[in-house]
Structure 1
Amino acid sequence: MAEPTGTGATERVADVLLLFTYGPPTLGVTRVSRELDLSKAVVHRILRSLTSRDLIAYDPDTREYRLGPAAAALGSRALRDSDLRATALPFLSELRDRLHETVTISAKVHGGRVYLDQVVGNHEITMSVELGRRFPLHAGSSGKCMLAHSDPDEVDRLLAGELQALTPATPTDPEALRAELTEIRARGYAASAGERQGDAGSVAVPVFGPGGLVGAVSVCGPRFRVTEEFVADTAPELIETADRITAQLGGTAPARAVHTSTGRTT
């Protein structure tokens, strides 16, 4: 196994750090080595360097590593300074007050997406999401609507790899998912029922900045309330909200088949 040098070494360090943003909260050298196809010696050196800067913390009892306080500080600063989060938050609150379900804003990141913020619904039984954790793009409405508007080469790479089943409802057939992505682009929104969490349903619309796709806004709730009728009624309002966020960011929303004021297809 070749030793990384130069830019490759920097990428390996970033890959190790990013590995802690999904999956189990603690990882050992062997798991990191296997996940990233790096030698244990290389992984150990990287982890030791990250630990020295408090980006990673080591537990001598379990001999495993977890994200450290410096990583938490970086994440908090990133959230605080996020233009997407700051721009979206008033619109999320407004939409939650109309729909009474949890409304979220996600950002697209390398290898997936993360929730930046949420305004929790005001029902007695409601949903909440985990902020800052990386989730795959093929599971759930927020990920799928981002994937539908991603670079075709990125879509091909993702569909050529393993589509992990997070629940029994997670899409794992690449050709079926490719067809669904085409439908999502045409109608302007994605919906899911139990794909990322078995008891949750959601509908999501992508958000765009000056450089293109930046994230997605979604409405989510318990699966028994997020019915097909709820999705059909909610999608036009969600599209309108996403378009307003896109306009504030200086982006351009794509053409779609749903009329945002009536919900009728054209």
Structure 2
Amino acid sequence: MTDRASPPTRRVVEILDFLARHPHDRFGVSELARRTGQSKPTCLGIVGTLAESGYLVRDSQDKTYRLGPSLISLGHIAQESLRVSPAAREELRRLSSQYDTTASLAAIVDERITLLELVGPPGSDVGVRAGQSYPFAPPVGLMFVLWDDDALRDWLAREPTIPLRTDSDRLDRVVAECRATGYLVERQTAGGRRLYALMAGMSNTLPQELRALLGELISDVGERVYLPGEAGSSRQKHDISVISAPVYDHYRRQAMVVSLRIGRALTDAEIARHAKGLMVTAHTLTVQLGGH
């Protein structure tokens, strides 16, 4: 990270980020200035320039601003540069429709887990959006390294985001079974549901207070992983958060992760049916990347 930050640029980013967090609302200059901690003249100059370029839209009647159409093309170009093609988005739409839930595609961008695309049923809101990112360090990010020994070793060597304990025997079993099946199943827990919401947008160096709180939520690598037959009868239902599978590039390296958000209880047979459809999508996306 560079120390040569630009305060004027930061102020522009603050306004865009604020409006992105409120995509259905419009704000006047006074409120924008107050909500972003800027002076009104500075804010007025920024939003005026952004509106002239189409990055914001100004309502001439009530003099409020919202995100503009130039950001649409900019976002599509950014996705294309990260290898999220229209064909990939269509595959996520197909997967989402097949299971009536949200399908997503994520990758490691600039050493952070970044959500590249998200497709869900009409009217659904999973509380995250494309472009959000999270620190890539234990215990977060296992699905991005699970299928590569070198990547897994490097990831485990990173400074953890929270204090950790590691059950090596269970982690070895998680690695072996997930590689055998080709997918990863994560349990849905109260702590897990809060984890990503707390970490979204955070830097890799978290405040000590937040580290302590997260340590109460999850403190073991692979703790949230569910292994079929691990608890009770195969007919028993288990609260499942997400099922994920790797996408590979032409170097035979994992490039992305495609995930199916579950958010409800499934039997082992139901988990397997969801995973089957997910892996078809993972294979198709791999082929689209020219991967193996």
| Counterpart residue type for residue 47 of structure 1 | A
Deviation at 1:217, TM superposition (A): 0.9
Match of 1:173 in 2: 166
Structure 1 position 157 matched with structure 2 position 157: no
Q: Distance in 1 between matches of 2:108 and 2:240?
A: 21
Mapped to 2, the partners of 1:231 and 1:94 lie a distance apart of: 18
Q: Distance in 1 between matches of 2:124 and 2:133?
A: 25
Distance 2:112 2:266 in 1: 24
1:20 matched to which residue of 2? none
Q: 1:235 to 1:200 in 2, by over 3 A?
A: closer
Residues 1-266 of structure 1 aligned to structure 2 (within 5 Å): 12-13=1-2, 43=3, 46-48=4-6, 51-52=8-9, 57=14, 76=75, 77-121=77-121, 127-135=126-134, 136=136, 138=138, 143-150=141-148, 152=150, 154-164=151-161, 173=166, 175=168, 176-194=170-188, 196-197=192-193, 201-211=241-251, 212-222=253-263, 224-226=264-266, 228-252=268-292
Match of 2:47 in 1: none
- DSSP-derived class of the 1:197 partner: helix
**Contact residue 240 and residue 265 of structure 2 kept, 8 A:** no
Q: Report the Cα offset of residue 134 of structure 1.
A: 1.9
Structure 2 runs not aligned, ≥5 long: 16-35, 39-49, 56-69, 195-238
User: Does the residue aligned with 1:241 lie in a helix, a strand or coil?
Assistant: helix
Q: CA RMSD in A?
A: 3.8
Question: Is this contact kept in 2: 1:120–1:128, CA < 8 A?
Answer: no
Report the 3-state secondary structure (helix = DSSP H, G, I; strand = E; otherwise coil) of the residue aligned with 1:155: helix
1:36-85 Cα offsets, whole Å, 9 max, x none, are: xxxxxxx4xx224x645867559667xxxxxxx89x97983422543234
Change in Cα spacing, 1:125 to 1:54, as seen in structure 2 (3 Å) is closer
Distance in 2, Cα, partners of 1:128 & 1:181: 29
2-structure distance, mates of 1:178, 1:75: 43
Shift of 1:186: 2.1
CA gap 1:125/1:118 in 2 versus in 1, 3 angstroms: closer
Kept in 1, the 8 Å contact 2:185–2:240? The answer is no
TM-superposed CA distance for 1:112, in Å, is 3.6
Shift of the alpha carbon at 1:158?
2.4
The structural deviation recorded for 1:218 is 0.8
CA distance in 1, matches of 2:137, 2:268: 22
Supply the distance in 1 between the matched residues of 2:5 and 2:124 (Cα, whole angstroms): 41
Report the CA distance between 1:187 and its aligned residue. Answer: 1.5
Deviation (angstroms), 1:227: 5.2
Question: Which residues of structure 1 form unaligned runs of 5+?
Answer: 1-11, 14-42, 62-68, 253-266
Q: Write the letter of the residue equivalent to 2:157.
A: A
Question: Partner amino acid for 2:144?
Answer: M
Answer yes or no: is the 8 Å Cα contact 1:107–1:116 preserved in 2: yes
Tell me the number of residue pairs that the alignment of Structure 1 and Structure 2 aligns. 194
1:161 offset after TM fit, Å? 3.8
Letter matched to residue 93 of structure 1: R
Q: Which gives a bigger RCO, structure 1 or 2 (Cα 8 Å, sep 6+)? A: 2
**1:220 is aligned with what amino acid?**
R
